[in-house]
Amino acid sequence: MNPAIPDHPHETTSARITRRADALSRRLRAVGERVFPPTAQKSLRSFTSGEVAEIVGVSDGYLRQLSLDGLGPVPELGPSGRRSYTLEQVMDLRRYLATARPKDAVRFWPRRREGDKLQVITVANFKGGSAKTTTSLYLAQGLALSGLRVLAIDLDPQASLSAMFGLQPEFDIAENATLYGAIRYDDQRVAMKEVVRPTYFTGISIVPGNLELMEFEHQTPRYMMEGRSRPDELFFRRVARAIAEVDDDFDVVVIDCPPQLGFLTMGALNAATGMIVTVHPQMVDVASMSQFLLMTSDLISVIEEAGGSLDYDFLRFLVTRHDPRDVPEQEIVALMRDVFDTDVLAASAWKSTAIANAGLTKQSLYELTRGSVGRSVYDRAMESINAVNEEIMDLIFSVWGRQK
Strand partners, 217: none
Pairing of strands 204-207, 197-198: antiparallel
- 3 found inside a domain: no
Same domain, 82 and 188: no
Query: Maximum Cα–Cα distance for the chain, whole Å?
Result: 77
Same domain, 328 and 357: yes
Same domain, 154 and 197: yes
Same domain, 90 and 231: no
Same domain, 84 and 232: no
Grouping H, G, I as helix, E, B as strand and the rest as coil, residue 120 is strand
E strands, 294-376, in order: 314-319
Query: Rounded CA gap, 374 and 372, in Å?
Result: 6
Strand partners, 124: 277
Burial class (CB in 10 A: 0-12, 13-18, 19+), 217: middle
Res 361 pLDDT > 60? yes
What's the residue count for the chain? Answer: 404
How many domains are there within the chain? 2
Other C-beta atoms closer than 10 Å to the C-beta of 360 total: 7
Q: Look over the chain and give the mean of its residue pLDDT values, rounded to a whole number.
A: 90
- 30 found inside a domain: no
Same domain, 81 and 213: no
Burial class (CB in 10 A: 0-12, 13-18, 19+), 55: buried
pLDDT band at 1 (very low <50, low <70, confident <90, very high): very low
pLDDT of residue 12: 82
pLDDT of residue 371: 83
pLDDT digits (tens, 9 = 90+) for 133-172: 999 999 999 999 999 999 999 999 999 999 999 998 878 8
Same domain, 171 and 285: yes
pTM: 0.90
Q: What is the CATH number of the domain that holds 331?
A: 3.40.50.300
- 21 found inside a domain: no
pLDDT over 70, % of the chain: 93
Query: Rounded CA gap, 267 and 258, in Å?
Result: 11
* Mean local confidence (pLDDT), 198-223: 94
Same domain, 131 and 152: yes
* Owning domain of residue 160: 119-399
Grouping H, G, I as helix, E, B as strand and the rest as coil, residue 275 is strand
Same domain, 85 and 156: no
- 26 found inside a domain: no
Res 4 pLDDT > 60? no
pLDDT of residue 225: 79
Of 56, 87, 108, the domain-final residue: 108
Same domain, 218 and 249: yes
Strand partners, 90: none
- 186 found inside a domain: yes
Query: Rounded CA gap, 197 and 173, in Å?
Result: 11
CB 192 within 8 A of CB 271: no
Query: Rounded CA gap, 97 and 108, in Å?
Result: 6
Same domain, 295 and 171: yes
pLDDT digits (tens, 9 = 90+) for 27-82: 766 766 665 555 557 889 999 999 999 999 999 999 999 999 999 999 999 888 88
Query: Rounded CA gap, 251 and 145, in Å?
Result: 13
Same domain, 229 and 358: yes
Residue 51 identity? E
